[in-house]
Structure 1
Amino acid sequence: MEELDEADENILVGPLQGKFCFKIQEGRVDKSAVICKLCNKEFAYHRSVSSLKYHLNAKHVAASLADTSVEASPTGRKTKQPTLHQLTGFKGRVSKTKADKMTNALAYWAALDCRPIAVVEDKGLEKILQIALSDPTYELPCRKTVTKRVQQLYDSEKGEKENLLKKAECVAITGDHWTSVSNANYLGVTAHFIDNKWRLHSFALTIKKITTRHFAENVAEDFESVTEAWEITQKVTTIGTDSARTMIAAMTQLTFQHMPCIAHMVQRTITVCLSDSGFTATLARCRKIVGHFKHSPSNTEELHNEQTQLGQDNEPLIQDVPTRWNSTLLMVSRLLKNQDAVKATLAKQKHKLTMLNAAEWDRLQRLETLLSPCRDVTELLGGENYVSCSVVLPALRHLTRTMKASDDDPAYVVKFKAAFEKDLSQREDALNHRFLQVATALDPRFKDLKCLPRGERGEVWTSIEALVQQQPGRATPECTEEPAWKRSLLLYNSDSESEDEDGPKGAVARYKAEPTISERDCPLQWWSTHERAHPQLSVLARKYLGSPATSVPCERLFSLAGNIVQKKRAALSSENVNRLVCLSNWLKERK
């Protein structure tokens, strides 16, 4: 300790510009301890001020920031104290350009992910952006501004789609009706085509609110209004819909070829066959077992415990729904997978529920085998980003083969297969067979037409020759007749053995001579490399391979619409519904 000298007044000044003073004991200065002048807290002092600075920043922020004096650096140089922006991380207000980009990004986010515009009023989102931008003064744009940007984004994306449709030679569309939670009816329409670079495009055209009754005349007018609005009436080749009577009647009033939804057809056949088969009683007991767990959280928890003990995933059972495709197969498959866990759980519970016996489990196993090919076909034909129209006939042929009864099948399986084959055959009569046959022939994977009877294959190629003959631009321009000696000279020097070599028959013969490709290969990629070798057939390939086999694209559009028109947003205007649904579909398609 040093004795206090009254002449030395600065001896009491401690570190950090006098915010701390040395401790005085018995008239002497103790330089091993300092006291905070702001709160009188005592600290040990050993020439290091780190703990003292921490105390000021934690307890006395105002005093720490108010200090404007100059500190000596460890190197002896004079350094300025950090500014307020440096201490807080504040880099200044966001520029107008960056704020504008943030507004556009918010509009893009709301449109792409189906977020409500009211999200810009969330204080939590504003706080996150303030931290990300290092600008505590940043404010989210108002709803009106974001709505305006969404409109601008919609107009821009729509302009791009219109340009694509203008360049397209042929366009196929699909359509269906949907009812929102507010009981408003909408017509969804999607477009599908192959561009000049052999890329398949699929996107929404509209989801239009309908106020008239679903009479055939009204439905036909609604479809015509959509094609006229997009200026594709003369380009539409096929229109895919379900097989509802109103839709079928409406298609007869349109000039477009009708393409009934194959997936709807297969699923309808499954529903009819299951309602009158040997699986009815077994499925009813399965639904009771699933309901026993679905309606009781405690039962579900006990099932999960048994699944854990057996080393299985804790997955719930699935209840089938008549209108949900493949739901019966999903219910059966999940039950079979968790058979041991279900048995163990029910054995520990006191209930009157009767468990399935060995024969019924065997029925479920056979039913899973029967329905699995149907699921594969519906999933295969329901795609919109790959060629599906040409796969219809081979897929149906595959189903027919799998439903052939064998000697090992029990009576109830034979009955189901016979009913399935009969019902599917009757529904196939309503298909557009000629269009599907041509599409199959123009697909290099299936051009051998093994899915058709031998007697029908020649007729398909004859119809393709006629289509080539009908193509515009085949007529030669008028010219004066050449002298006979010139014509004979040309014939003499020609290597052609037939006058039809460059005509429709020659074009078809050259294409048939090409080797078939694997079913895993892409037919569009094949055509992109063989277009010059087969220019006449390539035009037909764009037309016939671009049509979807189902109306599933509309079903996906309605799933998207259901995410937008929720209970909290049931008051959305029809214009906003169309804008948001289409825009979200376009942005996802572009990704």
Structure 2
Amino acid sequence: MSAVWSYFTVKDEKNKAECNQCKVSVLRGGCGRNLNTTNLIKHLQKHHVKQYEEFKQTTSAKKKSVPQQQQQTLREAIEKREKLAPESNKAKLITEKVTEFIVLDDQPLSVVENVGFRRLMECLEPRYIMPSRYYISDTAVPSKYKQVCEFISKCLENAATISFTTDIGSSDVCPMSLLSLTAQWIDSNFELKKAVLHAKHFRGSHTGESIAAAMEMMLNTWKIDKSKVHVVLRDNATNVIKAMNCLGVPSLGCFAHTLQLIVNEGLLSQRSVSDTVAIGRKIVGHFKHSPLAYSHLEDIQLELNMQPKRLQQDVRTRWNSTYYMVESLIAQKRALCAYTAEYDLPYTLIATQWGLLEKIITVLAPFEELTKEVSSSSAFASDVIPSVSVLKRILTQQNEADEGIKTMKSTLLEAVNRRFRDVESTPLYSVATLLDPRYKDRYFTNAESSRHAKDALLVQARKMEEVLGRTVSDASQAAEGTSSELAAPEPAKISRVEATSKSRLGNMFKEILEESTVESVPQSTTTNACIEIQTYLIKPTIQRSDNALLYWKVNKLRFPCLAATATKFLSAPSTSVESERLFSSASIIIDERRNSLSAEKAEMLIFLKKNLPTMFK
């Protein structure tokens, strides 16, 4: 609205306005709906000079506050209608994001030719020329692969020690075996870093020699010297064990794989248990293969005010899937019993078998919880010895609930003792356990194992002391200067993803910790390493749910030798789960839509899928 209306008022006659100063009616210019204010402004200019000056100032201020819209030039209009040149920065950026979309969201390379996707891009940027699938495949993906490779290479160069996992898997949709290699290390900021290095097509016989040759070629590709290899986590197959020996690198068996073998032994050791589980498997199979049966079961669940849930089928190579199958059967016990009363079910469980299933769940619950913990991305090799100690304690305890499954329970205990008999004497495990501030020396089963572990830690710490080049006098000064600090409370800690367990497993960890006593480390010499180990071990452990790496980040100045040693030994995972998860991603990438992918292109896509997000961080 014009500022002139501050000085005029419209009366009954719409084509006239009354001056608020002199009360004179002034005819408005124009006619009908096209009336204007020209006559009103002229009236102010002629008869009311002061008000006219105020009007001009107000109008000028309004014009300044409103940005002036410049008319588009002809050249600008033409440029907005022209297509983006493929070599322009904006076109390159869009192509890069399209490539990332294909890689990260497991899209087929042909998505750039799909009508829906092309219409979306046309709406977002009409000037962009969509590249062909061949450009994405032959140029864009290799370019992004090279960029990520350079980033990972720089990270690996800065790593003092690296741990690896490896495994061999195959695709269900094309005849392709993949040999995986993943890396894990702790950086200078005490943060755990991971990278997928290879998911390479592995041709020929899977002998130990051929696996070793392929692994050596992978390490050479990334210019990783064997001296930087701390440990390789692998499965328990003899050919893989032989390959690691041929390669000349330390290796450990996957903790989760060993648990799988132990539980399988337990389930098969007692005829009544194996028969009951087999019947449960057949019941689940019946509903899996009969949609009508499942429909009737869902009706019964609704009648019983139960949430409709499907029974879970197990996979024999994953013992915890059998646990979940039994758990789902017990949860649907009422519905299944009601179903057998109305419909024909080829296989049924009697009362004693239902009770047996409940006891199986009770015994295997600690194994299931432990499998989850050691399979997490934050699990270390240091978790193994305490976990084995807890399992032994749980399986040793006798109670009335064991009636009917005593053979199974004793077999589980015997299998744990046999398969983990050397775990406390293996330095890769024992030293890692001592260097984990959540465990220290509190979970060793006997004093001799603890003493040997401390001797091994002392050897490693002295090596690190030589690398750091500190003197004995420095150690004495450090010990004197930090005496008051050592008496202070532990620094703040960051909780891990997993919450502190209130289960039977968690309670057993706490019970063993409360029973343990701190033994002193014999000090034959007053070296840095001895002083640091003695001071570190007498301190209380931190909570099991806390971050062990944060502890060393906070205490690296107080315990420099131990902190540097911890970055080496805590870099090792407890399982080869990272490689197995890699095969899960591979099964999504190499599917029916992309079963003709070359091995080289498939590896690029897997590599980018896993490593590209690390660049975003």
TM range (shorter): 0.7 to 0.9
In the alignment, structure 1 residue 336 sits paired with structure 2 residue 336:
no
Seen in structure 2, the aligned counterparts of structure 1 residues 113 and 477 have a Cα distance that, compared at 3 Å, is closer
Per-residue deviation, 1:74? 6.6
Seen in structure 2, the aligned counterparts of structure 1 residues 163 and 359 have a Cα distance that, compared at 3 Å, is same
* 2:65 corresponding residue in structure 1: none
* 1:109 corresponding residue in structure 2: 101
Counterparts of residues 358-377 of structure 1 (less than 5 Å)? 358-377=351-370
In the alignment, structure 1 residue 503 sits paired with structure 2 residue 496:
no
Out of 263, 266, 273, which is 1:270 matched to? 263
Out of 427, 436, 441, which is 2:434 matched to? 441
* 1:453 corresponding residue in structure 2: 446
Counterparts of residues 15-94 of structure 1 (less than 5 Å)? 92=81
Per-residue deviation, 1:411? 4.4
Q: Deviations over 1:44-73 (max 9, x none)?
A: xxxxxxxxxxxxxxxxxxxxxxxxxxxx99
* 1:192 corresponding residue in structure 2: 184
Seen in structure 2, the aligned counterparts of structure 1 residues 276 and 533 have a Cα distance that, compared at 3 Å, is same
Per-residue deviation, 1:583? 0.6
* 1:145 corresponding residue in structure 2: 135
Letter of the 1:314 partner, please give it.
P
CA distance in 2, matches of 1:586, 1:444: 30
Seen in structure 2, the aligned counterparts of structure 1 residues 400 and 232 have a Cα distance that, compared at 3 Å, is same
Seen in structure 2, the aligned counterparts of structure 1 residues 76 and 103 have a Cα distance that, compared at 3 Å, is farther
* 2:118 corresponding residue in structure 1: 126
- SS of aligned partner of 2:313: coil
- SS of aligned partner of 2:575: coil
Out of 394, 398, 401, which is 2:390 matched to? 398
Q: Is the 8 A contact 1:501 1:507 kept in 2?
A: no
In the alignment, structure 1 residue 290 sits paired with structure 2 residue 309:
no
CA distance in 2, matches of 1:339, 1:454: 48
Seen in structure 2, the aligned counterparts of structure 1 residues 75 and 280 have a Cα distance that, compared at 3 Å, is farther
Q: Is the 8 A contact 1:405 1:414 kept in 2?
A: no
- SS of aligned partner of 2:206: coil
Per-residue deviation, 1:542? 0.4
When the two structures are aligned, how many residues end up with a matched partner? 492
Q: Deviations over 1:409-440 (max 9, x none)?
A: 44432111110111122211465722111001
* 1:57 corresponding residue in structure 2: none
Seen in structure 2, the aligned counterparts of structure 1 residues 76 and 258 have a Cα distance that, compared at 3 Å, is farther
* 1:355 corresponding residue in structure 2: 348
- SS of aligned partner of 1:272: helix
Q: Deviations over 1:192-212 (max 9, x none)?
A: 100000110112110111113
CA distance in 2, matches of 1:539, 1:395: 25
Using the TM superposition, name which of 537-546 and 499-508 deviates more. 499-508
* Deviating 4+ runs (over 6 angstroms): 72-77, 475-478
| Normalised TM-score (structure 1) | 0.78
- SS of aligned partner of 1:471: helix
Q: Deviations over 1:333-388 (max 9, x none)?
A: 11111111222223221x2524222211111111111112111111111123x242
Q: Deviations over 1:257-294 (max 9, x none)?
A: 11110000001111122122131111121112111211
Letter of the 2:282 partner, please give it.
K
Q: Is the 8 A contact 2:263 2:319 kept in 1?
A: no
Out of 555, 559, 565, which is 2:580 matched to? 555
Letter of the 1:172 partner, please give it.
S
Counterparts of residues 314-325 of structure 1 (less than 5 Å)? 314-325=308-319
* 2:459 corresponding residue in structure 1: 466
* 1:543 corresponding residue in structure 2: 568
Per-residue deviation, 1:472? 6.8
Q: Deviations over 1:197-238 (max 9, x none)?
A: 011011211011111311111111111111111111231110
CA distance in 2, matches of 1:229, 1:392: 32
- SS of aligned partner of 1:198: coil
* 1:247 corresponding residue in structure 2: 240
CA distance in 1, matches of 2:465, 2:209: 32
- SS of aligned partner of 1:174: strand
**What are structure 1's unaligned runs of at least 5 residues?**
1-71, 78-82, 84-90, 479-486
| Normalised TM-score (structure 2) | 0.75
Counterparts of residues 384-395 of structure 1 (less than 5 Å)? 384=377, 386-395=378-387
CA distance in 1, matches of 2:160, 2:291: 57
CA distance in 2, matches of 1:531, 1:128: 53
- SS of aligned partner of 2:168: strand
Q: Is the 8 A contact 1:126 1:139 kept in 2?
A: no
Counterparts of residues 573-588 of structure 1 (less than 5 Å)? 573-588=598-613
Letter of the 2:295 partner, please give it.
E
CA distance in 2, matches of 1:354, 1:564: 39
CA distance in 2, matches of 1:280, 1:589: 45
Per-residue deviation, 1:76? 6.2
In the alignment, structure 1 residue 175 sits paired with structure 2 residue 166:
yes
In the alignment, structure 1 residue 422 sits paired with structure 2 residue 414:
yes
**What are structure 2's unaligned runs of at least 5 residues?**
1-30, 37-71, 73-79, 482-522
Seen in structure 2, the aligned counterparts of structure 1 residues 76 and 304 have a Cα distance that, compared at 3 Å, is farther
* 1:570 corresponding residue in structure 2: 595
CA distance in 2, matches of 1:259, 1:352: 46
- SS of aligned partner of 1:239: strand
Letter of the 1:376 partner, please give it.
E
CA distance in 1, matches of 2:108, 2:120: 18
Q: Is the 8 A contact 2:465 2:561 kept in 1?
A: no
* 1:154 corresponding residue in structure 2: 145
Seen in structure 2, the aligned counterparts of structure 1 residues 574 and 420 have a Cα distance that, compared at 3 Å, is same
Q: Is the 8 A contact 2:269 2:407 kept in 1?
A: no
Letter of the 1:115 partner, please give it.
Q
CA distance in 2, matches of 1:75, 1:505: 98
Per-residue deviation, 1:452? 3.0
CA distance in 1, matches of 2:468, 2:375: 39
CA distance in 2, matches of 1:476, 1:100: 50
CA distance in 2, matches of 1:128, 1:75: 45
Letter of the 1:467 partner, please give it.
Q
Seen in structure 2, the aligned counterparts of structure 1 residues 205 and 472 have a Cα distance that, compared at 3 Å, is farther
Letter of the 2:231 partner, please give it.
T
Seen in structure 2, the aligned counterparts of structure 1 residues 505 and 318 have a Cα distance that, compared at 3 Å, is same
CA distance in 2, matches of 1:341, 1:495: 70
Letter of the 1:388 partner, please give it.
F
Using the TM superposition, name which of 266-275 and 430-439 deviates more. 430-439
Q: Is the 8 A contact 1:121 1:142 kept in 2?
A: yes
* 1:59 corresponding residue in structure 2: none
Q: Is the 8 A contact 1:175 1:240 kept in 2?
A: yes
Per-residue deviation, 1:476? 6.5
Seen in structure 2, the aligned counterparts of structure 1 residues 344 and 539 have a Cα distance that, compared at 3 Å, is same
Using the TM superposition, name which of 458-467 and 171-180 deviates more. 458-467
Per-residue deviation, 1:138? 5.1
Using the TM superposition, name which of 423-432 and 541-550 deviates more. 423-432
Q: Deviations over 1:479-512 (max 9, x none)?
A: xxxxxxxx99xx9xx979x994443211211222
- SS of aligned partner of 2:246: coil
CA distance in 2, matches of 1:388, 1:228: 26
CA distance in 2, matches of 1:328, 1:152: 45
Letter of the 1:550 partner, please give it.
T
